[in-house]
Amino acid sequence: MTAPKQTSPTDSGAPSLTVPKLLTGQKALVTGANSGIGKGVAIALGQAGADVVVNYVDGDEAANAVVDEIKQAGGRAYAHRADVSSEADVAAMFARMMQEFGTIDILVSNAGLQRDSAFHDMTLDKWNKVLGVNLTGQFLCAREAVREFLRRGVVASVSRAAGKIICMSSVHQEIPWGGHANYATSKGGIKLMMESMAQELAPNRIRVNAIAPGAIRTPINTAAWNTKAAYDQLMTLVPYGRIGEPEDIARAAVWLASDQSDYVVGTTLFVDGGMTLYPGFATGG
């Protein structure tokens, strides 16, 4: 039997599920949390019981709306503007978090962007911007979080781990992506940064993992899903037959941040509807 395919660009048919209370009292920072995947993750961490810093760089109103949604669910939250590619901004963001929440238990390094270009036309600005935010930004935030995890160690009443870092990667840490060499390079870099950190820090009970989303309905890729033609074309790349929603990633993030995944170390969890399964080979080859 073939499962019904969702063909609408606006309704993926994804069921709404409740988020389990796995993170009560934990302190979380989500970067790039005023839209898209980061927004979904921040809200889900709040629903799971965490207090959340909602980082953003542009768009105060959207960030404040995420904060309000977390507060309505009963969690503490505030918005903090910082450019994750700036060492000074990141240091200030963590200093404030220590003041407001006292510590950090969970970092979701999500801030990321695309500046697409044919390779021969790619400017150094586009290259540096994408590497600066997507890769260096994750390095700067992870370094601050790790310093605090090492200082504080395990607090058994909070979590089995001294801290959890979730790096937001992409299917493009594996799938080469013409026209997007800067972006794919940044995600390939995240893979080995995450694995190297995980190896180095596991003895300190710090768990570092990544999520690799496929095509998720967010502002970063609107052109890939907002018309029927684009959506149908996209579905040729997604065996599961629907676009992903931010909540699909958010539920994975809650699990990876919780003690339910305590033995998961240095793994990339692909949440992509099968995009990495070479769907072109389903027939032929």
- 66, exposed or middle or buried, with CB in 10 Å at 0-12, 13-18, 19+? buried
Least spacing, CB of residue 232 vs ligand BGC, in Å: 15
Closest CB to ligand BGC among 27 and 187?
187
Active site residue 183: yes
| E strand residue ranges, 224-267 | none
| Set 183, 231, 240, 263: catalytic member | 183
Closest CB to ligand BGC among 134 and 209?
134
Closest CB to ligand BGC among 35 and 47?
35
Closest CB to ligand BGC among 37 and 48?
37
Give the residue among 109, 154, 153, 152 at the shortest CA–CA distance from 134.
109
Give the total of residues touching ligand BGC (CB under 6 A).
9
Among 165, 171, 181, 271, binds ligand BGC (CB under 6 A): 171
Least spacing, CB of residue 216 vs ligand BGC, in Å: 7
Amino acid at 114: Q
- 94 in Cβ contact with 80 (< 8 Å): no
Closest CB to ligand BGC among 150 and 175?
175
Residues 185-224 that bind ligand BGC (CB under 6 A): 214-215, 220-221, 224
Distance CA 30, CA 98 (A): 15
Distance CA 188, CA 206 (A): 22
- 40 forms part of the interface with ligand BGC (CB under 6 A): no
Closest CB to ligand BGC among 32 and 214?
214
Radius of gyration of the chain (CA): 18
Distance CA 4, CA 241 (A): 8
Distance CA 70, CA 38 (A): 13
Length of the chain counted residue by residue: 285
Least spacing, CB of residue 115 vs ligand BGC, in Å: 11
- 35 forms part of the interface with ligand BGC (CB under 6 A): no
Helices 36-47 and 60-72 pack at an angle, to 10 degrees, of 20
Distance CA 209, CA 45 (A): 16
Total Cβ atoms within 10 A of residue 150? 14
**What does the per-residue mask of binding to ligand BGC show for 223-242, with x meaning CB under 6 A?**
-x------------------
Distance CA 175, CA 191 (A): 12
**What does the per-residue mask of binding to ligand BGC show for 97-116, with x meaning CB under 6 A?**
-----------------x--
- 170 forms part of the interface with ligand BGC (CB under 6 A): yes
- 172 forms part of the interface with ligand BGC (CB under 6 A): yes
Least spacing, CB of residue 204 vs ligand BGC, in Å: 30
Phi-psi region of 166 (alpha: psi -120 to 50; beta: other; left: phi over 0): beta
Annotated catalytic residues are 183
**Which spans of this chain sit near ligand BGC (rule: CB under 6 A)?**
114, 170-172, 214-215, 220-221, 224
